[in-house]
Every structure is written in C-alpha cells, then in structure tokens.
Amino acid sequence: MSPPATDLAPTDAPPSAPSVTVPRRQRVRGRLQAWWARPAEHVLHPLELRGGRTALQAWIASRGLITLVALLLAVITDRQLMDMTNNWDAVHFGDLARYGYGFDPKGRLFAFFPGLPLVLRIGLLIGLPTQLTGVIIAGLGSAAAAIALLRLGGPWAAVVWLFVPTAVFTTVGYTESLFCAFAFWAWERARSDRWAAAAVLAAAACTVRVSGLFLVGALLVMIITWPRTSWVGRGRRALWLLIPVGVLALFVIYEHAQSGRWDAWYSAQVDGWYRGFTWPWDSFRNSWAAIQPGAYADHPFWVWVFRAEMVSMAIGIAATIWCLSRKLWAEAAWVAVQVLAFSLSYWYMSVNRAVLLWFPLMIMIARWGSWRPKGRRIAVVHRVAVITLFVLGAACMMAWSWLYFTGNWAS
C-alpha cells in the first residue's frame, strides 16, 4: 500500500526510480541546495533581470544622494565623514561592541539587541572602527533587503524602499538594514514554503531588534491562513518557528543573568526613552502636545520630527487597511502589530524608522505608481502625481540625512 499523500505532495506520484548510491558529499550538497532553492515558478526570466537592474540603479542613486549630503556637510563643517555617521544609537552600538552590556551602570544598553554589536566587534578584531563596519554592513544589508523586496513586490517596491525619507538609517551603523535583510528574506522564503530557511533567517532577525518578535507572530499568521492545507501541515510549519522563539528566549535569559531582572529590556526602554506602557489615547495626547509650535524652543527640528511620527502612524494604519482589503492577513498583521506597539508607548517615537520595516507599504505604493489609468487626463494627472511624490520623497530623504549627519535628533 502506498503511503498517504501529504498536504504538499501530489496524489498521483510516479513510480519510484531504482535506488542509486550517491556519495555523502553530493547528498549533503543536494540537501543544502534544496533547502535554499527557489520554487520552479520563481526561475529568473528577462523581466526579473531588468527589474534587478532597476533596483541596482536605485540602490546606487539613493546611496549616492545620501553620500553627497555627507560630503557637502564634511566640506562645510570641516568634520570627518566617519564622525558624522556616528550619532545617537550608533554610539550605543559602538559602546556595546567595545565594552558589552556592563558599560552603562544605568542599564540602558539592555534596550539594544546583540546582533549588530557582535558584527561590529568582529570589525574591531580585524582593526576596523565601528563606524566603518556599520557603514559596510548597512550597504550590504540594504542591497540584500532590496533584492528580497524585488522578489516580494517587484522592482518598484525595492525602489520605493531605497528612497524612503528615513533611508539614511540604512547607510549607517543602525539596525534597519541588517534586520530588513534578514526579515524580508525570511518572508520571501516563507512565502515560497521554504520554512527551514525562513526560520533560520527569522532567528537571525531576532538577534538584531525586538521587531523579530513581531516577525515571528506575522509568520505564524501566514501559517494559520495558509491556503489549501491541513492543520497537520500548518503544525509542521509552525514547529520551525521554535527556532527564532528560542533565540528570543536566550536573549531574555542572558539579560537576566547580566542584570538580575527578567524585564531588563523593558526597563531600559522606560528609563532611557520614556517608552513605558501607556493607553493609546494618552499616547496620542502626549504626541499631540509634542507637535505644537514652541513645544521645543531650544530644538526647533524636534517638533517636525514628532509631526512626522504622527504622519508615519497614519501611514501604518493606511497600509494595514490596504492589506486587509486584499486579504493579505499576514502582511496586515506585520504592520498592525507594530502600529499597535507604538500606540502603547508614552508617545510616538521611532515610527519614522519603523516605516523601513513595512514592506507591504512599499508594495502598496509601487502598485499605485505602476497603475495605468485608461483615461488620458487621469493618466497624465497620475503620472504628474507619481513624479512629484518621488521628487518630494527624495528631497525628504536628503533633508533627513542632513538632520542625522549634523547630529540633530532624526528619530
């Protein structure tokens, strides 16, 4: 009697071929190739190759504009380029790489995950300063994330992501590039039903920032809503998620061993950045107060950054609604859980950078930009709107780069 068909195997299987002894090295290589292989329907074709060229050109152009801002500021202010890349959280990551979590007696460094500092420490071991290693990792990570977005939503989704106003954080020693590279590829592998690879990539993402927890939750939603499969099949896929969950558990245990507190990460967020639990209406009220004229007379740009945080929250809600309207349940969960988390903080902070994680938003914008209206007048208006928004987005990206490189708070 033939074995029962699984939820993925065809019911009419061909007769098995005669057994052939294969050398062990070839067997291992074949398993690794199958583990990471693309499904047959994802074989590269000319359109995808042209899309890759578009994404590459956008990567060069966006990185070039940000570098141009840095070079101009270096000439005007007579500062070193590496010094300009080392602001705000980049300093904390550098301190973690050099001294570890015990460096800050107040325990605020427990707010950061160890993935990026470990990479920066490897750079230190070979003689590279943390600023330079951070720039290198950001460049490689942003390229890998753009390629994953090309697979997920097409070349224009990658272009949108590369020109997000806060893209400067994907060029310096911040976690966004590294996390997006792992998370986007984990999503791509999961969508291709390659859950072993997806789990390993998600586990790597979980070493970089707390958003890895949201990634695991969204992947679980993907499994639950997986079409045309049994609950046994869903259960097998869900078991792979124990790998990234284990990584998160190890980090909690490590911080407890270092600090004696199970809530070390949360306490560091509260003590260092006022991110304690707050009801959504109070969070909105606190954020609203921060955007009023004169709220920060000594730091006039802060008001504009907080205003951008409010806009980013609205964009996150819009992206969630778009996903729900198209029954993209996992994608909706990925964005919605982050918007919810920000709404439960004292005020909206770092939402601007979190936009970089919302790949469904990039796909949404790319589809709108690629829309081809039938009427001539509507088509002209649409084309003008697309070009205008792209130019404004690139200008905002350069302005945000100026904020960061000059040491102003850029969220």
pLDDT category at 51 given cuts 50, 70, 90 is confident
Say which residue the tokens 């039903």 belong to.
Answer: 193
252 in the Ramachandran plot: left (φ > 0), alpha (ψ -120 to 50) or beta? Answer: alpha
Give the mean pLDDT of 272-291: 93
pLDDT above 50: residue 147: yes
- Write the pLDDT tens digit of every residue in 59-74: 999 999 999 999 999 9
**Structure tokens that stand for 262 in this block:** 């199970």
- Write the pLDDT tens digit of every residue in 226-245: 998 899 999 999 999 999 99
**Structural contact between residues 356 and 161, judged by C-beta atoms closer than 8 angstroms:** yes
pLDDT category at 35 given cuts 50, 70, 90 is very low
- Write the pLDDT tens digit of every residue in 83-99: 999 999 999 999 999 99
pLDDT at site 1: 35
pLDDT at site 126: 96
pLDDT category at 106 given cuts 50, 70, 90 is confident
- Write the pLDDT tens digit of every residue in 334-380: 999 999 999 999 999 999 999 999 999 999 999 999 999 888 999 99
pLDDT at site 30: 54
**Structural contact between residues 81 and 71, judged by C-beta atoms closer than 8 angstroms:** yes
Give the mean pLDDT of 31-36: 42
**Structural contact between residues 145 and 187, judged by C-beta atoms closer than 8 angstroms:** no
Helix (H) or strand (E) holding 388: helix 376-405
pLDDT at site 24: 57
pLDDT above 70: residue 34: no
Give the mean pLDDT of 276-294: 94
Between CA 379 and CA 363 the distance in angstroms is 20
pLDDT at site 202: 98
* Mean pLDDT value across the chain: 89
pLDDT at site 27: 56
pLDDT at site 222: 97
H-type alpha helices, 169-328? 176-191, 195-206, 211-224, 231-240, 242-259, 264-273, 280-290, 300-325
pLDDT above 50: residue 32: no
pLDDT category at 19 given cuts 50, 70, 90 is very low
Give the mean pLDDT of 137-165: 97
pLDDT at site 40: 34
What interhelical angle do 359-370 and 130-153 show, nearest 10? 50
Between CA 316 and CA 340 the distance in angstroms is 10
pLDDT at site 57: 96
**Structure tokens that stand for 47 in this block:** 């359109």
Between CA 224 and CA 219 the distance in angstroms is 9
pLDDT at site 46: 53
pTM: 0.88
pLDDT category at 42 given cuts 50, 70, 90 is very low
pLDDT at site 300: 87
pLDDT at site 21: 54
- Write the pLDDT tens digit of every residue in 204-231: 999 999 999 999 999 999 999 999 889 9
